[in-house]
A = this chain, B = another copy of it.
Amino acid sequence: MVIAAARVHPEKKQWVARCGVSRFYNDFTSLVQDPDLDAIIIASPTGFHATHIEQAAKAGKAIFCEKPLDLSFSVVKKVVQIIKKANIPFMLGFNRRFDPTYCRLKDALQTGKVGTPHLLRITSRDPGPPPVEYLKTSGGLFLDMAIHDFDMARYLLDDEVETVYTEAAVLGEPRLKAFHDVDTAITTLRFKKGTLVTIDNSRNSAYGYDQRIEVFGEKGVWGATNPTATFEYHSDTQGFHSPTLLPFFMERYEASYRLEMGAFLKYISEGGPSPVSAEEGLQSMAISIAAQRSVEENRVVCLSEIINN
């Protein structure tokens, strides 16, 4: 099986496919038409995702595409239709669903160890805002960052959102105001089966990349805490000290990226339902849009307002 990574090679400035030995292309069109390629990994900038998916789908290639599908909800809806019609294997890159610790939480929920879930609490804080250049095209806190947490809530609870309420503010990075973006938010979700969810997001975590989840159910509480790079501690006159958190997502989710790619390979080799379908992306994106609207209009937003329009 030969897989093309639709990412421009940083030195050669060419598109690259790799399987054992690398192969280079002058443009995405020639890459996608190479009959030797079985699957395409679309890791190009978000603005290209829709076009690249369409081209690859036409060429009948299996596709892995990094999230989000697009920043426009109507474009995403069209992409979902294109994939459906092309009837090709498609997987969306919500890598956190493959994190071994979160998988233990999912398993506890699925096997009834938690009982009926009452409350889900997600803390998701970046160690600092991304560069202004990135922020311009990121889609904002809810489409760029909180979408991972919204997707995680859907994934863990195996349920869909009914209402969304978000309070947000710019508390750490005043330049965000120019982009009508925020760096701090608390979102409350009500899920259809009754679970209440609170998600707090920040771009300003002085102590590293903080990613915690806690599900509270009738039988107790299950949580995921933060790993650290090393495991030493010390005690002195000032107290007990242990290491700070991992710097950012590349370190924190290293295993999940690896396992995600394994799931894609298994999926395109052995078939079966997509590990993360394009429709999943649509649903999670709808929550981001609802959160954005809740902030703008200072009110509770029903997800049906977004999905059905």
Q: Cβ of B300 and Cβ of A236 under 8 Å apart?
A: no
Contacts of A184 in B (CB 8 A): 118-119, 196
Asked if A194 CB lies within 8 Å of chain B CBs, one says: yes
Contacts of A46 in B (CB 8 A): none
A105 and B299 alpha carbons, distance in the complex (Å): 32
Asked if A304 CB lies within 8 Å of chain B CBs, one says: no
B interface footprint on A107-130 (CB within 8 Å = 1, 0 otherwise):
010000111101101010100000
Query: Which A181-222 residues sit within 8 Å CB-CB of chain B?
Result: 184-186, 188, 190, 194, 196-198, 200, 202, 204-208, 210, 216, 218-222
Q: Cβ of A167 and Cβ of B165 under 8 Å apart?
A: yes
Copies of this chain present: 4
Residue of B nearest to A223 (CB): B233
Contacts of A167 in B (CB 8 A): 163, 165, 188, 190, 196
Asked if A240 CB lies within 8 Å of chain B CBs, one says: yes
Q: Cβ of B220 and Cβ of A226 under 8 Å apart?
A: no
Asked if A133 CB lies within 8 Å of chain B CBs, one says: no
Contacts of A227 in B (CB 8 A): 231
Asked if A12 CB lies within 8 Å of chain B CBs, one says: no
Q: Cβ of B198 and Cβ of A169 under 8 Å apart?
A: no
Q: Cβ of A121 and Cβ of B123 under 8 Å apart?
A: yes
Asked if A74 CB lies within 8 Å of chain B CBs, one says: no
For residue A208, give the distance in angstroms from its CB to the closest CB of chain B.
Answer: 8
Q: Cβ of B232 and Cβ of A119 under 8 Å apart?
A: no
Contacts of A205 in B (CB 8 A): 216, 221
Q: Cβ of B186 and Cβ of A101 under 8 Å apart?
A: no
**A216-B202, A236-B206, A239-B241 given as contacts; is B186 within 8 A of A119 (CB)?**
yes
Q: List 18 A-B contacts (CB under 8 A).
A: A100-B230, A101-B232, A116-B171, A118-B171, A118-B184, A119-B202, A165-B188, A169-B194, A171-B218, A186-B197, A188-B198, A208-B235, A220-B235, A220-B236, A222-B233, A223-B233, A239-B243, A240-B244
Pairs A-B, 8 closest by C-beta atoms = A220-B236, A207-B235, A239-B244, A222-B234, A101-B230, A104-B232, A118-B171, A207-B220
Which of A's residues lie within 8 Å of B, judged by CB? Answer: 100-101, 104-105, 108, 113-116, 118-119, 121, 123, 125, 163, 165, 167-169, 171-172, 184-186, 188, 190, 194, 196-198, 200, 202, 204-208, 210, 216, 218-227, 229-245, 298-300
